[in-house]
């Protein structure tokens, strides 16, 4: 059996594992596939394959990526893809040697998220005209997005069955289709009640499953909601390019500023790793320093 054919089969099996067992999305799988195809290609240029590559060969691949001006973040993802492949091969008993065991990932600087202040959030949420069907729907979407800290894909992906108005909870499906329950709060719940009682029944097709629909009766799309939030942020006089994800960032930061536990925020956001959530502690720490300087007698 050709070693090259082995590599192709190994990669296909690993990608199937990521898709079926790990539940990763199509775009993530495509990114991994691209990284691994490039890995095999760069190894071939050095006269070896994933089966016989050593530390020197892998280091040479990484040097080539750096010379090709691949960013540190892209190099880190590339290395993660390759590490995952070798870990899978070891678990399946297909390969025992791991040439990446001594290779470290490049250090990444964490970019702080763009945020809205509390005042900006309040202005944005108040912007829709609740005297019109469209304004009622848009108010319900904005309130839900901020109250539950959802991703825009989670918001537009909500179905009627994901909403429990009696308990005030919404079931969000995050990355890898992982389900989590998030409280809505009274304001978002009340906005949803008005929307469901006065608007959705007028617009939705009889068999429509999405919670949020357009005037044509189809489900709201991510692109459609991006336009909505852009229009209302401009109308509210917010001099920033506001994105749906900024409300998610603001949700997390405002919770921490209010004293919420980091683990609770991690659960609400649906982060599998608390290190992802910890970026918000830097923003919250800035807020605490401002408060200390303002109110502590020796803080100035």
Residues designated catalytic: 151, 175, 245, 248, 271, 280
- Own/partner long-range contacts of 161-170 (Cβ < 8 Å, ≥24 apart): 161/209, 162/211, 163/192, 163/211, 165/189, 165/192, 165/193, 165/196, 170/144
CB 86 within 8 A of CB 49: no
The Cα 198–Cα 194 span in angstroms is 6
CA geometry: angle 19, 20, 21, nearest 5 deg: 105
Among candidates 111, 154, 112, which has minimal Cα distance to 253? Answer: 112
The Cα 283–Cα 265 span in angstroms is 14
Q: Encode burial over 18-53: b for 16+ CB neighbours within 10 A, e otherwise.
A: beeeeebeeebeebbbebbebbbebbeeeebbbeeb
Q: Where are the alpha helices (DSSP H) in the chain?
A: 3-20, 26-44, 55-67, 72-91, 118-126, 133-148, 152-156, 186-195, 201-203, 222-235, 244-257, 262-269, 274-277, 279-295
């Amino acid at each position: 059996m050709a070693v090259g054919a082995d590599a192709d089969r190994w990669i296909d099996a690993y990608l199937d594992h990521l898709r079926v067992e790990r539940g990763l999305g199509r775009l993530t799988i495509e990114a991994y596939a691209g990284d691994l195809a490039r890995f095999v290609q760069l190894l071939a240029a050095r006269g070896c394959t994933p089966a016989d590559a050593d530390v020197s060969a892998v280091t040479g691949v990484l040097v080539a990526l750096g010379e090709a001006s691949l960013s540190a973040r892209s190099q880190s993802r590339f290395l993660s893809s390759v590490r995952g492949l070798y870990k899978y091969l070891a678990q399946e008993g297909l390969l025992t040697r791991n040439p990446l065991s001594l290779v470290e990932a490049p250090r990444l600087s964490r970019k702080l998220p763009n945020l809205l202040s509390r005042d900006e959030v309040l202005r944005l949420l108040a912007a829709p005209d609740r005297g019109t069907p469209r304004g009622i729907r848009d108010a319900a979407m904005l309130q839900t997005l901020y109250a539950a800290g959802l991703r825009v894909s989670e918001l537009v992906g909500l179905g009627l069955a994901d909403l429990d108005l009696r308990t005030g909870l919404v079931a969000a499906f995050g990355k890898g289709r992982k389900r989590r329950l998030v409280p809505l709060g009274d304001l978002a719940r009340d906005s949803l009640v008005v929307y469901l009682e006065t608007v959705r029944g007028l617009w939705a097709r009889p068999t429509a499953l999405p919670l949020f629909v357009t005037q044509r009766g189809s489900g709201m799309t991510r692109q459609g909601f991006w336009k909505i939030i852009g229009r209302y942020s401009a109308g509210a006089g917010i001099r920033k390019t506001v994105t749906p994800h900024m409300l998610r960032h603001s949700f997390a930061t405002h919770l921490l500023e209010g004293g919420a536990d980091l683990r609770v925020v991690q659960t609400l956001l649906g982060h599998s790793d608390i290190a992802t959530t910890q970026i918000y502690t830097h923003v919250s720490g800035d807020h605490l320093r401002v408060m200390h300087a303002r109110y502590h007698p020796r803080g100035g």
